Amino acid sequence: MLYQADPARYQNMEYRRCGRSGLKLPAISLGLWHNFGDTTLYDNARQLIHCAFDHGITHFDLANNYGPPPGAAEETFGRILNRDLKSWRDELIIASKAGYTMWPGPYGDWGSKKYLVASLDQSLKRMGLEYVDIFYHHRPDPDTPLEETMAALDLLVRQGKALYVGLSNYPADRARQAFAILQRLGTPCLIHQPKYSMFERWVEPELLDTLAEHGVGAVAFSPLAGGLLTDRYLHGIPQDSRAASGSQFLQPQQLTDERLNKARSLNALAQQRGQKLSQMALAWVLRGDRVTSALIGASKTSQIDDAVSMLANRHFNEDEIALIEKILM
Ligand code: NDP
């Protein structure tokens, strides 16, 4: 069936300025790490993308290695883009990354210029794109000089293969050094992508302040802790869930009593607020103005609907914030 984007798609989404750049991102972004590989149904993947775009989610986050197998998510996305979304290319922010193991040998991993340039070329081919909107270095490389990695990002922008550049998983001190190099090169860092949720708060002591100080946006990945901060696991492990899928990233033993008890207490508070736990968890990540966008994953369109309807109820009073802190202690 021919896809027609919903004409009302920009009515309910909130767009937030990414740092001090000219770019605005939707408060909710969709990541393609899971559910877009070869083992998932193409029709479902297609519906997820349509649903997201129809809700005004303009930002799609990929990486060279998303699959399985690595590269498959970009291929799936490329197919959907080519078939359905071609005429909306200028309404989309498409991001990719390189930094984790992608191909064998010394040039398929980490942060060399050789790897980043080759990898982005491969990503563009897989997606059938001339350029990505954001290209990230996916993780810090302890061995490659930071100057080389940042010069590679700058080069890719100058070659027209990326419009903006970002960093992911960089600790605050390394991020500051990278920002200075990029600034000097004339390609300021647009965005940082760290893991951030009620269960993963490493960014709070230093990184978020550093980003605000440098005018760099923040897109928080895994804001639902892969599903732990939803009602998914409150009564066991559903067959169709990530934890039941054999994924190494959410194993049943990670569903500890301690975490589940916290999730149950948070769920009770969410219910008092008239929303789902997943919605409260997203609202919490977006509280204040330091996080530009919450980057969710989804296996069903209803999960995207949930995320977007959170926007109607995303403010907390002081008592609620204090209670959340107490539960998370
Ligand atoms: P989330 O924390 O949002 O977890 C998503 C999962 O939570 C879904 O797959 C689904 O699980 C469950 N879920 C979502 N909404 C609901 C709901 N309303 N009710 C019940 N369950 C729900 O994020 P991810 O861990 O998937 O990561 C999101 C994105 O972040 C990735 O796709 C990727 O783009 C990016 N990322 C970046 C990394 C980096 O190093 N830069 C690393 C990891 C992720 P189920 O599948 O069981 O239905």
Interval 67-84: pLDDT, tens? 999 999 999 999 999 999
Average pLDDT over residues 95-120: 98
**With 90 as the cut, is the pLDDT of residue 39 above it?**
no
Pocket-forming residues, ligand 1, beta carbon under 6 Å: 31-34, 61, 138, 168-169, 193, 221-227, 230-232, 241-242, 278, 295-299, 303, 306
With contact defined as beta carbons under 8 Å apart, do 68 and 27 qualify?
no
Tell me if ipTM is over 0.90: yes
Using DSSP's 3-state secondary structure scheme, residue 85 falls into helix
Quote the ligand 1 centre to 114 CA distance (angstroms). Answer: 31
The identity of residue 16, as a single letter, is R
Average pLDDT over residues 113-123: 98
Write down the pLDDT at residue 229. 98
Q: Give the closest residue (by CA) to ligand 1 atom 36.
A: 221
Write down the pLDDT at residue 173. 98
The pLDDT-based confidence of 145 (bands split at 50, 70, 90) is very high
Write down the pLDDT at residue 144. 98
Write down the pLDDT at residue 262. 98
Contact partners, residue 162, CB within 8 Å, separation at least 6 = 120, 131, 132, 133, 134, 135, 153, 156
Quote the ligand 1 centre to 272 CA distance (angstroms). Answer: 24
Write down the pLDDT at residue 198. 98
- The β-bridge partners of 98 are 137
With contact defined as beta carbons under 8 Å apart, do 139 and 99 qualify?
yes
Give the whole-angstrom CA distance, residue 67 versus residue 202. Answer: 27
**With 90 as the cut, is the pLDDT of residue 247 above it?**
no
CA-only gyration radius of the chain, Å: 19
Of the ranges 232-241, 247-256, 298-307, the best mean pLDDT one: 298-307
If you ran DSSP here, which 8-state letter would residue 186 be given?
A: T
Interval 198-214: pLDDT, tens? 999 999 989 999 999 99
Interval 48-66: pLDDT, tens? 999 999 999 999 999 999 9
Average pLDDT over residues 8-24: 97
With contact defined as beta carbons under 8 Å apart, do 170 and 200 qualify?
no
Interval 267-310: pLDDT, tens? 999 999 999 999 999 999 999 989 999 999 999 999 999 999 99
Write down the pLDDT at residue 1. 78
Write down the pLDDT at residue 112. 98
Give the whole-angstrom CA distance, residue 153 versus residue 182. Answer: 8
Q: Give the closest residue (by CA) to ligand 1 atom 29.
A: 31
Quote the ligand 1 centre to 148 CA distance (angstroms). Answer: 32
Q: How far is CA 57 from CA 153, 174, 251, in A?
A: 26, 31, 29
What sign does the CA torsion over 146, 175, 183, 187 have? positive
The identity of residue 51, as a single letter, is C
**Residue among 192, 295, 300 whose CB has most ligand 1 atoms within 8 A, to mutate:** 295
**Residue among 36, 110, 222 whose CB has most ligand 1 atoms within 8 A, to mutate:** 222
**Strand runs (DSSP E) across 113-238, as ranges?**
132-137, 162-168, 189-193, 217-221
